[in-house]
Amino acid sequence: MLPGERPGTRSFALSTQRTIMNDHRRLGRELGIFDTDPLIGSGLPCWLPAGAAVRKAIEDYVYELERRNGYQHVNSPVLGKRELYERSGHWAHYADDMFPPMNVGGEEFVLRPSLCPHHALIYRSRGRSRRELPLRLAELGGMYRSELSGVLGGLTRVRAIQLNDGHIFCAPEQAAAEVSASLDLIEAAHAQLGIRAARYRLSLRGDGGKFVDDPAMWARSEAVLREVLKERGRDYDEERGEGAFYGPKIDIQITDPAGRESTLSTVQVDYFQPGRFDLSYAGGERPVMVHRSVVGGIERLVAHLIEAHGGAFPAWLAPVQAVVLPLSDTELPAAESVLRRCLAAGLRAELAPAGRGSLGARIRAHRLVPYQLVVGPREAAGGGVAVRRRDGSQAGDVPVEQLAAGSRPLY
């Protein structure tokens, strides 16, 4: 509901209608993005072909964005020994959100609740010199949260999360610049994805045993985040009790069409885990860990994108970027040749032959596809296409290679 609206007014009815229309669960099913099956379990969605295509486009984009900004990518297993999480502090502060341990031959393993401990051990896999810092490690990896069935829904609350994660190991005097650079990446990615942040939140420690009890450490890490927010001239709200157990966070909040808020992107400063894992550089100096996620968990991101775009994704993200529409069966061979050229040029494309209905009906069925390539007798004779955009405007005979070049993300 918009500010000043009351239930029962016409605008309330319209906004409620929009909320239902854009619900990612309804649209996600209609678009073939994801599905859940009680036999697999709630909170464990499967990505259908259209969803897997969107996910791959996002993964490729984020990977390339990180690569261009000095990150090295790693891969690590989705489980680890219970001792790993005792060492990291998760066991003492975060056990409520973790799946119980599995006993294998007398050893206990848990599905990981975060990627940080694995990355800390990758840092520690050999000695590090001062000039290696900042060392930026990134991974798009699985993590698990033991949510109860009652709170699970669609892609927004899941038990298996594919997280765009990254950890920057740096000298203390580099931390503020790395936090700021992480916010640059987040803002660039949001612009490319068509996401509007609702607000920035500085998430601080709260009372109780969920947070590491070391006031001096918290004061130090909070100072870094405040300095960066001030320098960037960013408005933000402060909220106690929303920090990570090991340190404060800058959270970038988004809202769904019903106005419910959640965190998408985050940057955190951590002086705790480097000590727990005895990380060092130059023979004895202690690095700082900056934890950051540019686009958060892929599940929540895609849920938000479905709702924000109403299913009409930007061309680079669309599950199907081009549909080839022969006017009649006579143009089918020419249309098949156009399809092959689209696929070879890198477009996600498909063919909707005349047997599926009138041209108008086929255009309506593909109304969310950015480019509709009509092949009539003239185009078939000339080897071209008549490009119609999904807003109904005509682009004329554009080579498919040019469409493909225009359907890539910008960095």
Which residues are near Zn ion by CB under 5 A?
116, 291
SS3 325: strand
Instruction: Tell me the torsion sign for CA atoms 292, 164, 44, 26.
Output: positive
Specify the length of the chain in residues: 411
Q: Which residue has the tokens 């009890």?
A: 213
User: Minimal CA–CA distance to 58: which of 309, 258, 345?
Assistant: 309
User: Minimal CA–CA distance to 373: which of 407, 357, 391, 396?
Assistant: 396
Contact between residue 238 and residue 202 where contact means Cβ atoms under 8 Å apart? yes
What is the distance, to the nearest Å, from the Cα of residue 205 to the centroid of all Cα atoms in its chain?
Answer: 25
CB of 163 to Zn ion, least distance (A): 9
CB of 67 to Zn ion, least distance (A): 20
Q: What is the DSSP letter of 327?
A: S
Structure tokens at 74: 């790693």
Would you say 116 or 363 has its CB closer to Zn ion?
A: 116
Give me the half-sphere count of Cα atoms (radius 13 Å) on the Cβ side of residue 155: 30
CB of 291 to Zn ion, least distance (A): 3
Would you say 137 or 374 has its CB closer to Zn ion?
A: 137
For residue 332, the tally of other CB atoms under 10 A from its CB is 18
CB of 336 to Zn ion, least distance (A): 49
Would you say 116 or 155 has its CB closer to Zn ion?
A: 116
Beta strands 72-73 and 34-35: pairing type?
Answer: unpaired
Would you say 272 or 281 has its CB closer to Zn ion?
A: 272
CB of 89 to Zn ion, least distance (A): 12
SS3 36: coil
CB of 181 to Zn ion, least distance (A): 17
Would you say 267 or 373 has its CB closer to Zn ion?
A: 267
User: Minimal CA–CA distance to 176: which of 234, 233, 230?
Assistant: 230
CB of 115 to Zn ion, least distance (A): 6
Would you say 55 or 291 has its CB closer to Zn ion?
A: 291
- CA 336/CA 145 separation, integer angstroms: 46
Would you say 99 or 245 has its CB closer to Zn ion?
A: 245
